[in-house]
């Protein structure tokens, strides 16, 4: 099958080609004979009738610093000129991101948009997961210092993080004395208009925070992310170390609970995070990562699995 794929993503210049999942998808697409295009979310234009993007045809290869080449830019009609639009820019999940989902919804009757833009908008990573609270550690979402103090008193040690953060940024552990909790909540309240996520600290995070990738609701692979020395954060973007892993019985149960709903929502490529083999903390649907590390440890080709799922989706539409 010959497809035309438009990637709405971050600038090509800044990609870490050794680990970037979108870059891996692009390379795999080229290997399958697909044509690829690159544009940024601000390049979208709604003309009153059509959604267009000022995009570049792109070729990519694994050569750090010289990993892509653009052809001359063109005005791409995302409804009629391509088969698939991949919404793969990194958060923040701000009004620009939300606006892009609204615009991309307008072409869904013509073009397959992944992940489904309405469901990306309606499933922020740290809010969608509340639908599966039975698998989560004790969790509070609040801006209230008094509520946060009560939660700390109940659970002893806690973690405070932005509700719409990503990549392990601005995650803080607060000890049982709560010495800095009030100041931290004050800083968060000044920095963010939304409430914040507070969770009981899980000591088992020292053994790793597992990223499990599901493709169209089915597990495609997993990698364990182990915090660096002196860290509680295990994200690879902040120095976590990847390690080979297997799924626990509890993790299999979690995936079986989530899978059908992810497929129903058109969330084709999803990464969930599970600590200690049992505690679900996030369901990542905006621009999940991890497939490069998974394939390195398991000898798999997750990008190919994703493209096969895409082709199956397209066949169902015809």
Does residue 71 carry a catalytic annotation? no
φ and ψ at 260, to 5 degrees? -60, -35
Catalytic (active site) residue 161: yes
Nearest to 153 by CA among 108, 200, 211, 112: 200
Judge contact between 277 and 251, C-beta under 8 A. yes
Q: Helix %, strand %, coil % for the chain, to 5?
A: 35, 25, 35
Report the distance separating Cα 115 and Cα 118, nearest Å. Answer: 9
Is 134 a catalytic site residue? Answer: no
Give residue 230's Cα distance to chain centre. 25
* Residue tagged active-site, from 121, 210, 225, 265: 225
SS3 assignment, position 188? helix
Find the catalytic residue in 125, 211, 224, 265.
Answer: 211
Alpha carbon distance, N-terminus to C-terminus of the chain: 13
Q: Which of 88, 126, 210, 265 is catalytic?
A: 126
**Options 210, 284, 295, 301, the catalytic residue:** 284
CA distances from 82 to 2, 3, 232, 310 (A): 11, 8, 43, 13
- 3-state DSSP call for residue 227? coil
Active-site option among 81, 216, 273, 295: 273
The candidate with the shortest Cα–Cα distance to 283, out of 306, 301, 261, 310, is 261
Active site residue 233: yes
Q: Which of 121, 161, 210, 265 is catalytic?
A: 161
Q: Identify the active-site residue in 210, 233, 251, 295.
A: 233
Phi, psi (deg, nearest 5) at residue 210: -85, 130
Q: Residue 138: which of 154, 122, 123, 124 has the closest Cα?
A: 154
* Residue 87 and residue 100 in contact, taking contact as beta carbons nearer than 8 Å: yes
- Known active-site residue 126: yes
Q: Reduced to 3 states, what is the DSSP secondary structure of residue 47?
A: coil
What amino acid positions are annotated as catalytic residues?
A: 126, 161, 211, 225, 233, 273, 282, 284
């Amino acid at each position: 099958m010959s497809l035309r794929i438009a990637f709405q993503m971050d600038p090509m210049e800044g990609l870490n080609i050794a680990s970037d999942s979108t870059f891996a998808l692009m390379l795999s697409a080229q290997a399958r004979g697909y044509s690829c295009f690159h544009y940024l979310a601000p390049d979208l234009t709604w003309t009153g009738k059509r959604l267009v993007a000022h995009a570049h045809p792109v070729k990519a290869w694994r050569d750090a610093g010289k990993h892509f080449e653009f052809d001359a830019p063109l005005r791409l009609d995302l409804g009629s000129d391509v088969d698939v639009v991949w919404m793969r820019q990194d958060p923040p999940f701000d009004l620009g991101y939300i606006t892009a989902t609204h615009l991309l919804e307008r072409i869904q009757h013509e073009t397959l948009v992944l992940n489904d833009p309405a469901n990306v908008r309606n499933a922020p990573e740290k809010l969608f997961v509340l639908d599966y609270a039975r698998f989560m550690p004790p969790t509070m979402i609040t801006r209230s210092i008094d509520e946060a103090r009560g939660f700390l008193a109940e659970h002893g040690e806690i973690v405070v993080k932005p509700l719409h953060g990503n990549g392990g940024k601005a995650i803080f552990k607060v000890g049982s004395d709560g010495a800095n909790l009030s100041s931290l909540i004050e800083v968060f309240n000044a920095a963010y208009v939304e409430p914040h996520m507070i969770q009981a600290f899980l000591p088992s995070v020292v053994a790793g925070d597992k990223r499990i990738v599901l493709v169209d609701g089915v597990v495609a692979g997993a990698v364990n992310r182990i915090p660096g020395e002196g860290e509680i954060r295990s994200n690879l973007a902040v120095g976590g170390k990847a390690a080979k892993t297997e799924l626990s019985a509890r993790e299999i149960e979690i995936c079986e609970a989530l899978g059908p709903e992810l497929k129903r929502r058109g969330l084709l490529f999803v990464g969930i995070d599970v600590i200690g083999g049992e505690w679900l903390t996030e369901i990542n649907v905006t621009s999940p990562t991890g497939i490069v590390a998974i394939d390195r440890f398991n000898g798999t080709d997750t990008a190919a699995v994703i493209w096969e799922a895409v082709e199956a989706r397209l066949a169902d539409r015809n």
